[in-house]
Structure 1
Amino acid sequence: MSERRRDYLEVRGIRVEFDGFVAVDGVDLTLLQGQVHFLIGPNGAGKTTVVDALTGLVKASGLASYDNHNLLDMPSHKIVRLGIGRTFQTATVFEELTVVQNLDIAGGVHRRAWSMLRPRRGVPDYVHAALETVGLTDLADRPAGVLSHGQKQWLEIGMLLVQDARVMLLDEPVAGMSGEERTQTGELLHRIGKERTIVVIEHDMDFVRAYADVVTVMSGGTVLAHGSVEEIRANPEVQRVYLGHTVEGAA
C-alpha cells in the first residue's frame, strides 16, 4: 500500500463542463501544507468552479488526489470527513445560535450519530481552542447574527478548525472587511496555515501582496501563471489579462 499523504493536494487536468460550456479546462495545481496559496483572476476565470469541484459541488473529470483519494469521485459529505472544508463569499452561520453553539454543531461532523443524541457536559476543549484561535472568546455566548461581517468570517474559519479541516478553501474571506479586519485575517491565515493547506480565492490585490506565499492566476478556465507575488507581478501575460492595469495593479 502506498504511503498516505495529507500534506498536499495534487490537482491534475481538472475539467468542468456545463451543457457544452467548458468552465474549467485542464487545471493543474499543487497545493502544499504550510503555504497560503491564492487563486486570483478576472471574474469568470473559473476560480470558484475549481473549488466547487474539489468539494463535490460540481461534477468534474481529472484527478484531485488527497490522502490516497480522488476527491472528484467522492460526495461532498465524505470530502468533509476526509478533512477538506470551505467557506463561501457570504458567511453561512446559524445567526440565531450563539458563537459557541455554531462551533459545537460544526464539530459534530466527526462524532458518531448516536453520540449526538447524548447530553453534552460542557463545551469541548477543541471548541474553546477554536474560539481562542479566531479571536472570538469574548463573544462566545453572543448570537452569531450580531457579529460584524469580519467576525462571521472568522467564525466560519473556526467552524472549519473544529471539523479538523486540514485543507481550507476560502472564497473571498476579506470582502467587505475593514482594514484592521483584513490585517487580523491575514495574520490568522498564516497562524493556522503552518499545519494546514490554505487556499484563498481573492480579488483584493493589496491583501494578496501582503499575505500570499504562492499565487496562481486563472483566466478563461485555465491556469495563466503560477509563482511568487514578485513573479506574478512581473509576468506580462498577467498584465495583459488585467487589461492595461499597471504591474502594481496586476497582482
Structure 2
Amino acid sequence: MTTTPTRTDDYLEVRGLRVAFGDFVAVDGVDLTLLQGQVHFLVGPNGAGKTTIIDALTGLAPGQGVATHGGVNLLGKPSHRIAALGVGRTFQTATVFEELSVLQNLDIAGVRHRSRWSQLRARREVPAEVSAAAETIGLTHLLDHPAGVLSHGQKQWLEIGMLLVQDASVMLLDEPVAGMSAEEREETGELLRRIGHERTIVVVEHDMDFVRRFADGVTVLHAGRVLASGSMDMIRANPEVQRVYLGQTTEGAA
C-alpha cells in the first residue's frame, strides 16, 4: 500500500547516507523514501547497517549525505534537536524510568510541549495527550503502576506511548517485538497500524513472520547498502534477496 504524504513534515527522505567509523564503512550510500501512512521495515543480516541508519538519523552516529524531514537536514544535528523536529526512536531494550509510574513516564515525555507555568504548577488531572497515549497503547489500567513491573512487551508499548506524547511524526523503532510473546507481537503490529495512519513508522526487525503480516514496505540491507526495496511480495520474489538474506532465516521464509 502506498500513501501520498499529506503534510511535508510527515515523511523522511534519505539520500546518499554514509556512516563510517574510522576505516570501517557501516552504511554506504543508502537512499530511502519513507512515507507517512506506511509501516516500513528495514531488514537484513546482522551487521547490515540497520540500527546504524537509525543511529545516524537520530544524532547518535556520524552521518554524511542528506536526510530531510520537514525541509531540514537531520544529519549532523544533536539528538535533542532532532527530537524537537518530530523524529523519535525506541531502542532494542526499552529505556523507560522503571521506578516511576506509567503515568509519570508519559508525563515526563510531554514536558517540552507545555509552557513553563504549566510545568511548575500542580495538575489535578491527567493531561489530555497523556490520557490519549495511554489509551492508544492499552495501558490506561496501569497508569499508577511502576513501569518496572510491566512485561517486556508493555515496556515497549510504553516507550511508543512516550513518542506519541511527544507528538513524533516520524518513529524509528529498533526491534520492538524481540523477546515478545506471540500475543504481544500481534498486539504490537496492530498498534503500529493504528498509529501509522498519520505518521511515518520505520521498524528494524528480524522476525520475518511479523514483517510479512504488518509491512507496507520493506527495504533489505546488506553490507551497508540497499539490496532491494518494495512490497513484501516483491522482496520475497527477488532472487538476490533470497540468496543473501531470506535463505539464511527460518525455513520457508522466502
Give me the TM-score of the superposition, normalised by structure 2: 0.94
Q: Which amino acid aligns with 1:88?
A: F
Measured after TM superposition, the shift of residue 137 of structure 1 is 0.6
Q: Which amino acid aligns with 1:18?
A: F
Q: Which amino acid aligns with 1:249?
A: A
Q: Which amino acid aligns with 2:36?
A: Q
Secondary structure (helix, strand or coil) at the match of 1:80 reads helix
- CA offset digits 1:143-173 (Å, max 9, x no partner): 0000000000000000000000000000000
Distance 1:35 1:196 in 2: 8
Change (3 A) 1:173 1:243: closer
Q: 2:52, 2:61 within 8 Å by CA — same for their partners in 1? A: yes
Measured after TM superposition, the shift of residue 74 of structure 1 is 1.5
Q: Does 1:94 align with 2:75?
A: no
Q: Does 1:226 align with 2:224?
A: no
- CA offset digits 1:205-229 (Å, max 9, x no partner): 0000000000000000000000100
Change (3 A) 1:231 1:248: farther
Measured after TM superposition, the shift of residue 112 of structure 1 is 4.4
Q: Which amino acid aligns with 1:102?
A: N
* Higher mean displacement: 143-152 or 110-119: 110-119
Structure 2 counterparts to residues 202-213 of structure 1, below 5 A: 202-213=205-216
Distance 1:243 1:171 in 2: 20
Show the counterpart of 1:19: 22
Show the counterpart of 1:241: 244
Structure 2 counterparts to residues 1-251 of structure 1, below 5 A: 5-113=8-116, 115-242=118-245, 244-245=247-248, 248-250=252-254
Change (3 A) 1:160 1:85: same
Q: Which amino acid aligns with 1:222?
A: R
Measured after TM superposition, the shift of residue 8 of structure 1 is 1.3
Measured after TM superposition, the shift of residue 121 of structure 1 is 3.2
Q: 1:234, 1:247 within 8 Å by CA — same for their partners in 2? A: no
Q: Which runs of 5+ in 2 are unaligned?
A: 1-6
Change (3 A) 1:20 1:8: same
Q: Indicate the percent of aligned positions where both proteins have the same amino acid.
A: 74
Q: 1:40, 1:203 within 8 Å by CA — same for their partners in 2? A: yes
Q: Which runs of 5+ in 1 are unaligned?
A: none
Q: Which amino acid aligns with 2:253?
A: G
Change (3 A) 1:19 1:155: same
Distance 2:72 2:178 in 1: 32
Secondary structure (helix, strand or coil) at the match of 2:75 reads helix
Change (3 A) 1:159 1:243: closer
Distance 2:196 2:129 in 1: 17
Q: 1:81, 1:110 within 8 Å by CA — same for their partners in 2? A: no
Q: Which amino acid aligns with 1:137?
A: T
Change (3 A) 1:95 1:243: closer
